[in-house]
A = this chain, B = another copy of it.
Amino acid sequence: MDLRPPSVRALMEELQKLPGVGPRSAVRMAQYLLKEREEALRLSQTLVQAHERVGFCSTCFLLAEGSCPVCDDPGRDRTVICVVEEPVNAWAIEATGEFKGLYHVLLGTLDPLRGIGPEELTVAKLVDRVAAGGVQEVILATNLTVEGEATAHFLVQLLRPKGVKTSRIAFGLPAGGEISYADTVTLARALVARRGME
């Protein structure tokens, strides 16, 4: 017999949908959340609030609450755009302190087998930004995975005819590595040593 009350079972099922959470961590988390009423209600509220208040910047697709922390900052270098897959990748790059330009979040990578082409990403908007002029360099900082590499190469072919310099964030990151998982020093070094991309 399953002794878990239906609402507890529902909670554990929801927790197990989170990345990296298996049946045992779900039990531990549920136990904690049932004991700590204040924490549980605060987590519930922050989930709703994040969805009510946060959206994507319509220019660069970073997460923004009101104004964009980058596009709306007059102090940024508008001649360089760093292209990443997800907002979290930009957060990691920003934390290195080595980049003062603008970002462009693709919101994914090309993945033909899953039916994800350029139209499913924010590629057209990136091309528009470059075509609008003033951009001298586009740094491709997609992850160093098969999909990330393919996406970077695709964008280079697309952007080079527009007369903009393209570069790829330097290897130095572990191969197959997710940019958000790299430590700050490695990431800073990889960014400084970026190379031109043909």
Contact = CB atoms under 8 A, between A and B. Distances in A.
Interface of A: 1-8, 10-11, 14-15, 17-21, 24-25, 27-34, 37, 39-54, 62-65, 69-70, 86-88, 90-91, 94-95, 180-181
A3 B46 contact: no
A116 B69 CA distance: 48
Contact of A43 (B4, B15, B86, B90): B15
A28 B34 contact: no
Contact of A44 (B7, B29, B48): B48
A8 B69 CA distance: 13
B47 A51 contact: no
A91 B29 contact: no
B44 A47 contact: yes
Nearest to A53: B7
B5 A63 contact: yes
